[in-house]
Amino acid sequence: MNPLATVGRFFLAFLQQIGELTIFAGRAVSHCVRPPFYFRHIGRQMLDIGYYSLPVVGLTALFTGMVLALQSYTGFARFSAEGAVATVVVLSVTRELGPVIAGLMVAGRIGASIASELGTMRVTEQIDALYTLSTNPMKYLVAPRIIAGVLTLPLLVIVADIIGVFGGYVVGVYKLEFNAAVYLKQTFDFLEFMDVFSGLVKAAVFGFIITLMGCYHGYRSDGGAQGVGRATTNAVVSASILILVFNYAITELFFATR
């Protein structure tokens, strides 16, 4: 077998995937902005993505803030900069860790759930049935999930930010024995609007990525139970990778010249 042909086939298949994903995303976005809107479905999805993700996102944000305070304290103590702990915690959480941790957690929970639900609907012909009932599956199934993802992730990240900063505060004040008032002052003195805003923009983009990848892989699922399993794995893996890629791109956009 010619190795160049293998590489070429792989590359062409990759390009085909990119093209199909782009067309799917374009169709999905066009259905997101055109009526009719299924508000009840959007509400249900927001509840599922936001409210039911709170425990997992809250816990991971709490421990991330705690470990961040602990690690930065032990690191900064080497050059007597312990006073920067509160600032480092709040900037790291709001700019990076809040959105990324929430994004990855939701990718695991919701991305998998969407892909398996839509995948099962595909292999049991429920998506075909929607079509025969004069209901566009993109509008009925995909658009509400994407709208809910884009609207809900920022709300979830606000909660993650608050809990993450609180985790740092708990470790800073009760373990590292910072003065509570000083810790809070250092937390808010150096925090700028753009730090929080950039995190929320990231969250909205991550919400789009997670729901898009879940819908894309689920919608195109085939091959029965194995196909649904494959779609679920692909949705989580691709969403996780894209979250990290776009995290860098958005950081570059917001902070590279600052």
Which residue, 24 or 166, is less far from another protein as judged by CB? 24
Under the binding rule (CB under 8 A), the answer on residue 16 touching another protein is no
**Tokens read off for 250:** 């958005």
- For residue 126, CA distances in Å to 27, 28, 224 come to 20, 19, 13
Single out the segment in contact with another protein by CB under 8 A; choices: 17-25, 129-137, 191-199, 244-252: 129-137
Q: Do 171 and 112 touch, CB atoms closer than 8 A?
A: no
Size of the site for another protein (CB under 8 A): 15
Which residue, 3 or 35, is less far from another protein as judged by CB? 35
Which residue, 117 or 161, is less far from another protein as judged by CB? 117
Q: Kindly tell me which residue out of 33, 133, 181, 256 binds another protein, with binding defined by CB under 8 A.
A: 133
Least CB distance to another protein at residue 230 (A): 20
Which residue, 49 or 68, is less far from another protein as judged by CB? 49
Which residue, 122 or 217, is less far from another protein as judged by CB? 122
Single out the segment in contact with another protein by CB under 8 A; choices: 8-16, 59-67, 126-134, 245-253: 126-134
Q: Kindly tell me which residue out of 37, 70, 76, 135 binds another protein, with binding defined by CB under 8 A.
A: 135
Least CB distance to another protein at residue 52 (A): 16
Biggest alpha carbon–alpha carbon distance for the chain:
70
Which residue, 99 or 137, is less far from another protein as judged by CB? 137
Under the binding rule (CB under 8 A), the answer on residue 76 touching another protein is no
Binding mask 106-125 for another protein (x = CB under 8 A): --------------xx--xx
Report the C-alpha dihedral over residues 160, 204, 139, 42, rounded to 10 degrees: 30
Residues 68-73: contacts with CB within 8 Å, 24+ apart?
68/92, 68/93, 68/97, 68/164, 68/167, 68/168, 69/167, 69/168, 69/169, 69/171, 69/172, 69/176, 70/171, 70/175, 70/176, 73/171, 73/172, 73/176
Q: Kindly tell me which residue out of 134, 177, 248, 257 binds another protein, with binding defined by CB under 8 A.
A: 134
Residues 156-159: contacts with CB within 8 Å, 24+ apart?
156/49, 156/50, 156/53, 156/54, 156/57, 156/102, 156/106, 156/203, 157/98, 157/99, 157/102, 157/199, 157/200, 157/202, 157/203, 158/200, 159/54, 159/57, 159/58, 159/61
Under the binding rule (CB under 8 A), the answer on residue 131 touching another protein is yes
Least CB distance to another protein at residue 138 (A): 9
Q: Kindly tell me which residue out of 1, 78, 79, 132 binds another protein, with binding defined by CB under 8 A.
A: 132
Which residue, 97 or 121, is less far from another protein as judged by CB? 121
Q: Give the separation between CA 175 and CA 108, rounded to whole angstroms.
A: 32
User: What are the residues binding another protein (CB under 8 A)?
Assistant: 120-121, 124-126, 128-136, 140
